[in-house]
Amino acid sequence: MGDNKILLPFETLTVDQAVGTPLAHDMTQIVPGKYKGPAFKKGHKITSGDVCQLMRMGKNNFYVLDLADDQVHEDDAVLELASALSGPGVTFSGSPGEGKLELNAAYPGLFKVNIQALEEFNMFQDVMCASIHTNTRVKQHQSLAATRTIPLVIHKDTLDKALDFARQQYPVFSVKLFHPLKIRLIITGEEVYKGLIKDQFQAIVEQKTTALGATVEETVILPDNREMISRQIRRYLEKDTDLIITTGGMSVDPDDVTKDGIVDSGFQEIHYSAAVLPGAMFLLGYHKNTAIMGLPACGLYHKTTIFDLILPRLMAGERPGARDLARLSHGGLCLNCKTCRFPACSFGKAG
Amino acid sequence: MEEFETLLKGSANAHGHICSGQVIGVRMAMEGCRLIGLDTPRELPQIKKLIVYVEMDRCATDAISFVTGVRLGRRSLKFVDNGIMAATFVNLETGRAVRIVSTESARHLAKKYAPDITDKREQQLVAYKRMDLDALFHIEAVRVDVNASDMPGPTRFKAVCQKCGQVIRDKREVMKNDQILCRPCALGTYYQPVTK
């Protein structure tokens, strides 16, 4: 960003004089509430038929560009900026619009931002880049960020400084592939085990995990029995299991023994509790290459919980620890909106 | 653009035989180019303005390539493996693009358009030459945003696989865990090495 204090040498023509002249940049048309986009693209030769529309758009004067060797047009500059900022899994159009390029996901995965580098990049003069939050689960083609130069023409030296920095920090943006995790599930609860009520957790877990490319290989329903839960986890560990998920029994009542069962099963690294609501009684643990998540019962009621924040990170091969769980505190409060828009909201967007 | 019969003859020579797919491909390419405002796509400067996305790898694809001059190696021919007899013609300069799909109903109309021919394959071939474009194709205007990494021209993007050291061009690398990898290393191969 910063001020462009250098006046660039443009010749200005009135709209009548400009007939037959190629446009130096895209001409944006705004119809309030309906449309904002280029009405005329860069390079379009203005015809007498265009004059009326251009005047209605408030365009009465035009720049004619005669670039010096040390000057770069915004369309050329933004291609360089996008190239320098985009790491693996991030693509962008070959045709900038209005001097801007949107960076998109090449494949589904976990979007990662080098936040500090992005901030520093925006301290350079005459360039900008804005993105969505890091650690967001993204779909293919989803918009991730956008970049542009501020002036219509940028000095090459100024541009090069920003480019050199972005290249040194490569990748500022990337998308991590999701692994097709093999998941095994333990539903706990005396009431479900005895058939007093029908389990609803299995469908929720299957829907959320398969949406990211994982498979639920096996599901068992157990009573609130510490020994049985522990034994089942050990059985799962003997199989080809990437992730074990337990549901329920994570709170403070005498019947809540799932956490104890997990501890007994021999997991080496266990983090219990997270600075997220809903999901404070969450457990995350690791044993060799297998992770375990203990989901509190809030997942039955709330559409979005800590499960939705941690699952994509495990799917991307990450091993979030105590610090990561604490970092979620900033943005970790779900507002329980009537219509859930997650992930397009502040929930889980630690920054 | 040259006459249909001249293009068909050239296409058949290049492809190796004449068939109904050649007829469809030549007519598709001629109409596609006409609709996006290119009349000499095989020559400069128009050769640099055209990209064609084909959605099948059968006879018609070769015909489209012959008529338009687009080539895989020039990055002007893109293969989208949809198994559909369709192609999209994009004018990179103006952004105009049309997708043309060969209609299945045209197969059933062959007898109507070539009642004088009894051999089924010959009947199809001749009928497709005579058939109205409306009957032969479904055509729609579309918008194609071509990625910078898919554009023709010199290689702009290179990465190195952190597992095998292979150079990866055109942003086909992926991030798996915290490693930049080529697709074979990250996703597996379509081939199996033969160990001696």
Q: Quickly state the pLDDT bin for B177 (edges 50, 70, 90).
A: very high
What does the pLDDT read at residue A302?
93
Supply the angle between the helices B4-15 and B59-68 in degrees, to the nearest 10: 120
- Determine contact: B151 vs chain A, CB below 8 A: yes
Between residues B43 and A54, the one the model is more confident about:
B43
The DSSP call for residue B147 is B
Contact A83, B135 (CB under 8 A): no
What whole-number distance in Å separates Cα of residue B148 and Cα of residue A166?
18
- Which residue type sits at A151? P
Please judge whether A94 and B176 are an interchain contact, meaning their C-beta atoms are less than 8 angstroms apart.
no
Residue that the structure tokens 């999701």 belong to? A178
Nearest to B176 among A93, A112, A317 (CB): A317
% of chain B surpassing 90 pLDDT: 97
- Which range (A62-76, B46-60, B73-87) has the least confidence? A62-76
pLDDT at residue A2 is higher than 70: no
pLDDT higher than 70, residue B79: yes
Contact B66, B92 (CB under 8 A): no
* Domain(s) of CATH 3.90.105.10: residues in chain A: 11-64
Q: What is the mean pLDDT of residues B150-159?
A: 94
b vs e for A205-217, b when ≥16 Cβ sit within 10 Å of the residue's Cβ? bbebbeebebebe
Token digits of residue B75: 């990055």
Say if B80 is an interface residue toward chain A (CB within 8 Å): no
Task: Determine which helix (DSSP H) or strand (DSSP E) holds B159, and give its type and residue range.
Answer: strand B158-160
Tell me the pLDDT tens digit for each residue of A107-162. 999 999 999 999 999 999 999 999 999 999 999 999 999 999 999 889 999 999 99
Q: Looking at residue B66, what DSSP letter applies?
A: H
Residue B180 pLDDT exceeds 70: yes
In chain A, pLDDT over 70 holds for what percent of residues?
97
Long-range contacts for A47-53 (Cβ within 8 Å, ≥24 apart)? A47/A19, A47/A20, A48/A19, A50/A19, A51/A15, A51/A16, A51/A19
For the A11-64 domain, the top CATH level (class) is alpha beta
Query: How far apart (Å, rounded) are the C-alpha atoms in residues B191 and A171?
Result: 31
Q: What is the pTM of this model?
A: 0.86
Average pLDDT along chain B: 95
Query: What are the tens digits of pLDDT across the range A158-191?
Result: 999 999 999 999 999 999 999 999 999 999 999 9
Q: Per DSSP, what are the bridge partners of residue A105?
A: A90
**Sign of torsion over alpha carbons A297, A300, A302, A303:** positive
Whether the Cβ atoms of residue A314 and residue A346 lie closer than 8 Å to each other: no
On whether the CB atoms of residues A226 and A287 are closer than 8 A, the answer is: no
Domain with CATH 3.90.1170.30 in chain A: 71-177
Query: DSSP letter at A179?
Result: P
Using alpha carbons, list the distances in angstroms from residue A41 to A9, A79, A95, A99, A204.
22, 16, 10, 10, 48
Domain boundaries for CATH 3.40.980.10 within chain A: 182-327
Q: Select from A89, A93, A177 the Cβ nearest to the Cβ of B147.
A: A93
- Per-residue model confidence (pLDDT) at position A1: 52
pLDDT given at position A30: 79
Residues of B in contact with A95 (CB under 8 A): 92, 95, 145-146
pLDDT of residue A9: 54
Looking at A61-65, A257-261, B104-108, which range is the least confident one?
A61-65
pLDDT tens digits for range A279-309: 999 999 999 999 999 999 988 889 999 999 9
Q: Place B61 in a pLDDT band, splitting at 50, 70 and 90.
A: very high
**Distance (Å, rounded) from C-alpha A272 to C-alpha A280?**
9
Please tell me if residue B150 touches chain A, with a CB cutoff of 8 Å: yes
Q: Tell me how close the Cα of A3 comes to any Cα of chain B, in angstroms.
A: 29
**Regarding predicted confidence, which is higher, A58 or B23?**
B23
Maximal C-alpha separation, chain B: 67
Give the closest residue to B47 by CA, choosing from B77, B23, B10, B3. Answer: B77
Contact (CB<8Å) B171/A109: no
Query: Is the pLDDT at A210 greater than 90, yes or no?
Result: yes
**What are A72's two structure tokens?**
């770069």
Q: Which fold has domain B4-148?
A: 60s Ribosomal Protein L30; Chain: A; (3.30.1330)
CATH architecture of residue range(s) A71-177 = Alpha-Beta Complex (3.90)
pLDDT in tens, A3-30: 545 555 567 888 878 888 777 777 777 7
Give the nearest chain A residue to B152 (CA atoms): A94
Q: How many CB atoms lie within 10 A of CB B34?
A: 13
pLDDT at A239 over 60: yes
Identify residue A247 by its one-letter amino acid code: T
By the CB < 8 Å criterion, does A176 face chain B? yes
Q: How confident is the model at residue A351 (pLDDT cuts 50, 70, 90)?
A: low
Q: Where are the alpha helices (DSSP H) in chain A?
A: 51-56, 74-85, 115-121, 156-168, 190-193, 201-210, 226-238, 258-264, 306-315, 322-327
Mean of the per-residue pLDDT values of chain A: 91
Q: Give mean pLDDT, residues A205-214.
A: 97
Bridge partner list, A64: A11
Please report where in the chains the tokens 């500090």 appear, as a residue: A116
Instruction: Provide the ipTM.
Output: 0.85
Q: Check CB contact of A23 with chain B, cutoff 8 Å.
A: no
Q: Are A144 and A103 in contact (CB under 8 A)?
A: yes
Torsion over CA of A114, A120, A125 and A126, rounded to 10 degrees?
20
Domain boundaries, chain B: 4-148, 154-187
Which tokens in the block code for residue A3? 């001020």
Q: B6: part of which helix (H) or strand (E)?
A: helix B4-15
Q: For residues B123 and A195, what is the distance between their CA atoms, to the nearest angstrom?
A: 68
Residue spans of beta strands (DSSP E) within chain A: 11-14, 27-31, 35-40, 61-64, 71-73, 90-92, 100-105, 109-113, 127-131, 136-138, 143-149, 153-155, 173-177, 182-188, 215-222, 243-247, 269-272, 283-287, 290-295
B29 by Cβ neighbours in 10 Å (0-12 / 13-18 / 19+) ranks as buried
Residue A231 has pLDDT above 70, yes or no: yes
pLDDT at A51 (0 to 100):
82
Q: How far apart are CA B35 and CA B97, in angstroms?
A: 8
Q: How far separated are the first and last CA of chain A, in Å rounded? A: 21
The per-residue pLDDT for range A56-111, each reduced to its tens digit, is: 888 888 777 777 889 899 999 999 999 999 999 999 999 898 889 999 999 999 99
Cβ <8 Å between B95 and A41? yes
List the Cα angle A300/A306/A309 in 5-degree steps: 125
Q: Which of A189, A214, A216 is nearest to A200 (CA)?
A: A189
Q: Which fold has domain A182-327?
A: Molybdenum Cofactor Biosythetic Enzyme; Chain A (3.40.980)
* Residue B148 touches chain A, beta carbons under 8 Å: yes
CA distances from A332 to A306, A311, B19 (A): 8, 15, 64
